[in-house]
Amino acid sequence: MSKITDGVMSLKFLLPALRSARCISKRKMVHGKIIVSGFLPNLVASNHLMSTYVSCDRIEDARRLFDQMPEKNVVSWTILISGYSKSGPKEAAVSSFRSMVSSGFSPNDFTYVSVLSACASIGAARSGKEIHGRIYRLEGGVLSSFVSNSLVNLYAKCGMIHLSRSLFDGIIQPNMVSWGSILSGYCQCGQNEEALRIFARAWKEGVGINEFMVASVLSACSSLGVLAVGKQVHCYVIKSGIPSDQFVEAAVVDMYVKCNELDLAYQAFSELDEPGLASWAALIGGYAQQGHGERAICLFRKLQSSCLKPNEHIFPCVLVGCSTVAAVEGGKQLHALIIKSGFRMAAYVGNAVMDFYAKCGLLDESVKLFEEMEEHDIVSYNAMIARYVDRCDFKGVMELLKQMLLEGTNPNPYTYSSILKLCADLPVVRWGQQTHNLIIRLGLDANVIVGSALIDMYAKCGRLEDARKVFRMMPSKNLVSWNGMLVGYGQHGFGEEALGIFHMMQMESIKPNEITFIGVLSACAHVGLVKQGQCYFDLMKGCGIIPRIDHFACMVDLFARAGLVERAYEFIKSMPIQPNKVIWRSLMAGCKTHGNLGIGLNAARQILKIDPEDDSAHVMLSGVYANAGMWDERAGVRDFLKMGFKKVPGCSWI
């Protein structure tokens, strides 16, 4: 009796010590004292000890204790499942749940929340549905707010946004977590317009807005490029005093970056007291992706001089900057720094280095790194497939797809997007149609990335009706979708239809970009709408877009096709940038068609000054002489061509 009493007294003092011990070594020491005391902890004490290990991310110790417990209850199982859900492996949470049920225990709301969270993390939609069915059968379909929110989150993260929305609409009084889950779900599924509508509805209904909802809505603004809404949200964050954590700060910077407002992004970044690494990554990545590689590298050096150390998210951004300015040596130094800093050449960082070498034309280095990487993920394969697609290397793409499937990695929307791009570039519409059939069977046809790639593929293969059908059926469209349809019509001479798409964009407040205006100006050139083309060219400046060489080329082509050769020539002379061969060739083609010998000869001289061995310029010059009846001059050009120049013959897949 005395020994038992001493054990109880010992346990009475040891349990508070267990709660107060902050480091894991002290807690394990207290656990050892309990064992040495000779008093076997009761069920409550064992559960408490398990919870302690779980809170310290010591799931192995928690599991060892669980297996040694002679008696278990629902709390014991829930603590174990919660530990696996929090610290992993997530699959163990699902298997533990099944073991719990088969052992005759009835889960409670906390158990369901933990296991559903694990299912959401690993995308285990089937297991999640089974658990949902069990809840419906055994609980009479009555769900607590905790479980309802977990189910909304589960289906959203598994890409089943329609089921998520159905559950959300069934919640009588959705709370902040419910609104945040459905909002985040729409963003993750690419349905950003609906995400903005959900946010506006939550605002009108007086739902409290937290930092998680702000980060999600800013992400939607970034994807859609709606600067006005993003500014309003940013203003609300400042005025309302919402806790501005690092995710919100980074989301604000990223929103301005994605809306092509680098000055505002830098201003928002500069106003942060202590910008976190996520904000640094957003700004450096923004400069790099928009072609300001030197600025991105400069910011990285500034980061190195601060107290922060670059992480695995920073290096990929800087490598993009190096690839945009072809800073091969700088990229190689970064590669060395990554290794010296102790980062494993695992998927995320390895993918960035591999992509850098590929974009700098060092495909052999990229392939070598791919083969040496410790692990591959879907991004690794997509990066390599994209590079082979750029080279129209069908065999290389097929080999990678075979290896990818053998390793158990399933293609994702980006994989199918690359395959469709290859079908468009070759072009081979039959392969594209077969890929489209597979996409429909997999249920990916509603994905905006895949849909945009399908539009591009059908348009480049001349199947404009099929492209338009895909465009109409897309539940959500992005700028790439609109541009694909517009440029497709323009390239095939359907100018009126292309301009109709542009007018639809304006009606739906879709902000155009540089590619949009290339399509619009090309469409005007094909149907001879000179006045409208000039208006659209002037409209670019109003949209904050600086005309590039491609836009100037479209304008020269517009004037030349319409017979306004002199006006085209004057336009070239007024250009703020140096004209290239494409521009002079468009002018020369107009001179050949409309018989302007003087300007045509000057255009030919300009082309040959840029590239003396341009055989197509000599061939076009021969045509200009022929149209002007200058047969001796034409014969001289033909004799010159026979000395070694040869026109590259055209070819057709038809």
Could you state, in order of their start, the residue ranges of all structural domains in the chain?
376-476, 548-649
Three-class SS of 617-641: HHHHHHHHHHHCCCHHHHHHHHHHH
State which fold the 548-649 domain adopts: 1.25.40
> Which pLDDT score, from 0 to 100, does residue 17 have?
54
Name the DSSP letter for residue 22: -
Q: Return d(Cα 422, Cα 403) in angstroms, integer.
A: 18
> Which pLDDT score, from 0 to 100, does residue 345 have?
64
Q: Return d(Cα 538, Cα 459) in angstroms, integer.
A: 28
Q: How many CB atoms lie within 10 A of CB 523?
A: 31
Give buried/exposed letters for 14-48 (b at 16+ CB in 10 A, else e): bbeebeebeeeeebbebbeebeebebebeeebbbb
374 touches 344 (CB < 8 A):
yes
Q: Which of 74, 73, 46, 45 is nearest to 62 (CA)?
A: 46
First-residue to last-residue Cα distance in the chain: 97
Give buried/exposed letters for 565-596 (b at 16+ CB in 10 A, else e): bebbbebbeeeeeebbbbbbbbbbbbbbbbeb
Side chain identity, residue 410: N
Q: What is the DSSP string of 521-544?
A: HHHHHHHT-HHHHHHHHHHHHHTT
Tokens (6 digits) for 380: 């690794």
Residue 397's contacts (CB-CB under 8 Å, 6 or more residues apart) are 385, 388, 389, 418, 419, 422
Q: Return d(Cα 569, Cα 430) in angstroms, integer.
A: 43
Judged by DSSP in three states, 198 sits in helix
Q: Return d(Cα 431, Cα 484) in angstroms, integer.
A: 19
Q: Return d(Cα 179, Cα 177) in angstroms, integer.
A: 6
622 touches 634 (CB < 8 A):
yes
Q: How many CB atoms lie within 10 A of CB 250?
A: 24
Q: Which residues of the chain have pLDDT under 50?
A: 1-10, 12, 641-643, 652-654
Q: Return d(Cα 204, Cα 195) in angstroms, integer.
A: 14
* Rg, the chain, Cα only: 32
Q: Return d(Cα 439, Cα 456) in angstroms, integer.
A: 15
> Which pLDDT score, from 0 to 100, does residue 89 have?
87
CB-neighbour burial class of residue 644 (10 A; exposed 0-12, middle 13-18, buried 19+): exposed
Ranges assigned E (strand) in 386-459? none
Q: How many CB atoms lie within 10 A of CB 365?
A: 18
318 touches 296 (CB < 8 A):
yes
Side chain identity, residue 575: M
Largest pairwise CA distance in the chain: 126
488 touches 481 (CB < 8 A):
no
Q: Return d(Cα 542, Cα 511) in angstroms, integer.
A: 12
Residue 373's contacts (CB-CB under 8 Å, 6 or more residues apart) are 345, 346, 347, 350, 354, 380
Tokens (6 digits) for 195: 């995400």
Residue 96's contacts (CB-CB under 8 Å, 6 or more residues apart) are 77, 80, 81, 84
Judged by DSSP in three states, 561 sits in helix
User: What number of CA atoms fall less than 13 Å from residue 451's CA on the CB side?
Assistant: 25
